[in-house]
Amino acid sequence: MVPIRLVAATANPHKLAEIAQVLGEAFELLPRPAGLGEVVEDGETLLDNARLKAVAACTTSGAAAVADDTGLEVDALGGAPGVHSARFAGEHATYTDNVERLLSALVGIDPGHRTARFRTVALVRHPDGSEVSATGTVEGRIAEHARGEGGFGYDPVFIPVEGDGRTFAEMGDEKHALSHRGRAFRSLELKLTRGPVGEGA
């Protein structure tokens, strides 16, 4: 079977490696187009932002493009940081900055009230304007301290309900079986491979 070729909208090497690992051999991920500038992620939803990135990569490359957007929704914070997860501590915040801001916001909140979920929306945009999207969610809670060296983003403080008490950052590749991004991209893969490319939504 010839792999389905998709242009990656992300320039994030961690995210790219995770997507490639989840999608496997049925897909060939092509690098982000060199001429693609920074995409302003000003959508109101994760789907909006995934679409903005996929459309930009598709338009620049002239080929089908894949993008995703992820939000961490913390119940004690009314669902924040949500769509603003990557910029929670400011426009140019690092992963560490965002984690520290989150932990500061939850000081004094007991473990039973630190529930949260990761939500990822993955989307493929084709040159003819058709789209295929999928969502993946994982429930969990926020640790009181960062733990683990693996992963990226909020992984050091997110403990999935379905796990064994470790954070995503402590799991290594085991994370992919449980993760929101893994679930979104496995669902997207099923939608893309069940019929001719360009069909389904």
CB 138 within 8 A of CB 117: yes
> Which helix (H) or strand (E) segment is 68 a member of?
strand 65-74
Residues in the chain: 201
CB 23 within 8 A of CB 190: no
Q: How many CB atoms lie within 10 A of CB 173?
A: 9
Which is it for strands 65-74 and 27-30: parallel, antiparallel or unpaired? unpaired
Give the pair of three-digit tokens for residue 106: 């939850």
Burial of 182 (0-12, 13-18, 19+ CB in 10 A): buried
Residue at token pair 């969610």: 137
Calculate ∠ Cα 176-74-115, nearest 5°. Answer: 75
Closest CA to 87 of 129, 38, 51, 21: 38
Of 48, 68, 69, 97, which is the active-site residue? 69
Residue 69: active-site member? yes
Tell me the β-bridge partners of 126. Answer: none
Residues labelled catalytic? 69
